[in-house]
Amino acid sequence: MPGLEDLYREIILDHYRTPRNRGELAPPAVRAEGHNPLCGDEIQVYLDVVDGVVNDIKVAGQGCSISQSSASMMSQAVKGKGLAEVRALVRRFRGMMSVEDAEDEITAAETAAVKLGDLEALQGVVKFPVRIKCATLAWNTLLLAMSELPAA
């Protein structure tokens, strides 16, 4: 559907040109770094979680339009969500990108419950396997940041 592809392209470009949640957060926010050596993309994710909910998230770094727009969309999608909901969203996004590990298996009910919204604009990346790492870099870095959170 050419019209849909044009819309998706515009969403990606909008997030690249006007990234959301750009910047840094001071400690006690958790900071994680991700790097894609294949193309030089770099991402830093700053995560502030209060009572199990993403209170704030900031993203910094540089890279291609796919990595940077994916980071912007991710930051919007997870802000204000509980950690379990964020994990489900990460699994759903990774599933859409065809990046699944054994622990990433998603039930049909979970898939139906998790809505990607604008993130669906990135589904065309799957046609270009070398770009999947660009699209998932911020998400993998988010998981790393979440693993650094102090135990509740």
DSSP states of 108-130: HHHHHH---GGGGGGGGGGGSHH
DSSP label at residue 4: H
CA–CA separation, 103 vs 111, rounded Å?
Answer: 15
Helices (H), the chain: 2-17, 65-78, 83-96, 108-113, 129-147
152 pLDDT more than 70: no
* CB contact set of 147 (below 8 Å; sequence gap of 6+): none
Cα atoms found within 13 Å of the Cα of residue 43, Cβ hemisphere only: 37
2 pLDDT more than 90: no
Candidates 3.30.1330.20, 2.40.170.20, 3.90.1010.10, 3.30.572.10; correct CATH number of 2-147?
3.90.1010.10
Question: Would the pTM count as exceeding 0.85?
Answer: yes
Note whether 43 and 61 are within 8 A (CB): yes
The pairing of beta strand 41-50 with beta strand 30-36: antiparallel
Q: Order of strands, edge to edge, in the sheet holding 30-36? A: 30-36, 41-50, 53-62
What is the model's pLDDT at position 102? Answer: 45
pLDDT tens string 12-45? 999 999 999 999 999 999 999 999 998 899 999 9
What is the model's pLDDT at position 39? Answer: 87
Paired tokens of 78: 């997870």
Cα–chain-centroid distance for residue 21?
12
112 pLDDT more than 90: no
